[in-house]
Amino acid sequence: MKIHILTSPPEIFFSRARLMVLTFLGLLFPIILSAQPPSLQKPGVFRGDQDLSGWVMSEKLDGIRGYWDGRHLVTRKGRIINSPSWFTKNFPPFELDGELWSSRGQYEFIQSVVLDAHPGEGWKKITYNIFEVPNQQGYFFQRLGKAKLWFASHPHPWIRIIEQIPVKNKSDLDFFYKQIESNGGEGVIVKDPLKPYDTGRSTTVLKVKKARDMEGEVIAVNPGQGRNQGVMGSLTLRLENGVEFKLGTGFTDKVRQAPPPIGTQVTFKYHGFTKTGVPKFASFLRIRED
């Protein structure tokens, strides 16, 4: 008797094998879905000399930016946020842009909750703070009005529309900024409300953040990777209070090629501190020679 062995073309076999492996891995690890990164309106930087007559100001919240595309909440890089279904219930079919936030100084908590593949109880402490209604006709307050009208008829306990305060003059902005800063806030956003919506780096939406600087002692020089292969990638610094962290941005090629030796004091700029006392958004400024 002749035995017939049924075979499949190699590509079919490997496709089936690949499918089985992916199915198995999917049971073990949650898949992080990604969408196309949204075209966002990105604030420029307030230089201090722009005329802000007729503009409005609001607190810049230190949370995770969440873009509602009409179906999903996504990050600025297009990663789909796994929010609970109850959190986005009653969200509109049109786009929204806002900040997922809880309170000042809670960035690490917010990040851990919002970017978790498995939405948990922490979401009950998160609010969605709307600062723009993208791709709508009209001026800023007309666009915001569409969101207000929607949520007036579709109430949602976790929705906030960020208060916009008229800027009378530069002194008015300075006073507001100092209030935010003294209460542990990140900064201020100023915006020309008479401009139509646009995307990309904006000249009519500006962030006001006054960086501070401090010194740290170099305790390690860490090798670089990628484009910094073969040169210094970062410095590990120890602050006067004993906090240690890695400083990896702000260096010129010259400094990366000849980094400061261990024991050197360097100056860096930063914007506030994390909950554990690490400087936020730290960037190298200079080597202390004195």
CATH number for the domain spanning 141: value is 3.30.470.30
Return the active site residues: 60
- Which two three-digit tokens encode residue 205? 């939406």
Asked if residue 148 and residue 117 are part of one domain, the reply reads: yes
Shared domain for 204 and 273, answered yes or no, is: no
- Give per-residue pLDDT as tens, 138-156: 999 999 999 999 999 999 9
Q: Are residues 219 and 201 in the same domain?
A: no
Does residue 232 lie in a domain region? yes
| Residue 35 pLDDT greater than 70, yes or no | no
Cα 262 from chain centre: 33
Of the candidates 181, 193, 201, the residue with the CA atom closest to the CA atom of residue 271: 181
In this prediction, residues 39-62 reach a mean pLDDT of 91
pLDDT for the residue numbered 37: 83
The dihedrals phi and psi of 169, each to the nearest 5 degrees, come to: -165, 180
Distance CA 37, CA 80 (A): 10
H helices present in 78-121, as ranges? 85-88, 107-114
Per-residue confidence (pLDDT) for residue 28, from 0 to 100? 38
Q: pLDDT tens digits for 229-248? A: 999 999 999 999 999 999 99
Q: How far apart are the first and last CA of the chain?
A: 94
Q: Does a structural domain hold residue 11?
A: no
**CATH code at position 267:** 2.40.50.140
The answer on 252 and 155 residing in a single domain is: no
Does residue 124 share a domain with residue 253? Answer: no
Total Cβ atoms within 10 A of residue 213: 13
pTM value is: 0.67
Provide the 8-state DSSP code for 36: P
Tell whether the model's pLDDT for residue 14 goes beyond 80: no
Is residue 8 in a domain?
Answer: no
Please report which confidence band the pLDDT of residue 34 belongs to, taking 50, 70 and 90 as the band edges.
low
Average pLDDT (76-99) is 95
- Contact residues for 156 (Cβ-Cβ < 8 A; gap 6+): 89, 90, 91
Residues 138 and 65 occupy one common structural domain: yes
25 within domain boundaries: no
Do residue 58 and residue 153 come from a single domain? yes
Q: Is residue 7 part of a domain?
A: no
- Statement to judge: residues 99 and 240 lie in one domain: no
**Residue 255, number of CB atoms within 10 A of its CB:** 17
Query: What is the domain range of residue 169?
Result: 41-208
How many domains is the chain partitioned into structurally? Answer: 2
Task: Please check the confidence at residue 191 and state whether its pLDDT lies above 80.
Answer: yes
263 forms beta bridges with none
Q: What is the pLDDT of residue 162?
A: 97
Rounded to an integer, the average pLDDT of 216-225 is 95
Element (H or E) spanning 140, and its range? helix 140-153
Query: Where does the pLDDT of residue 4 fall: very low under 50, low under 70, confident under 90, or very high at 90 and above?
Result: very low
- The answer to whether position 32 is within a domain reads no
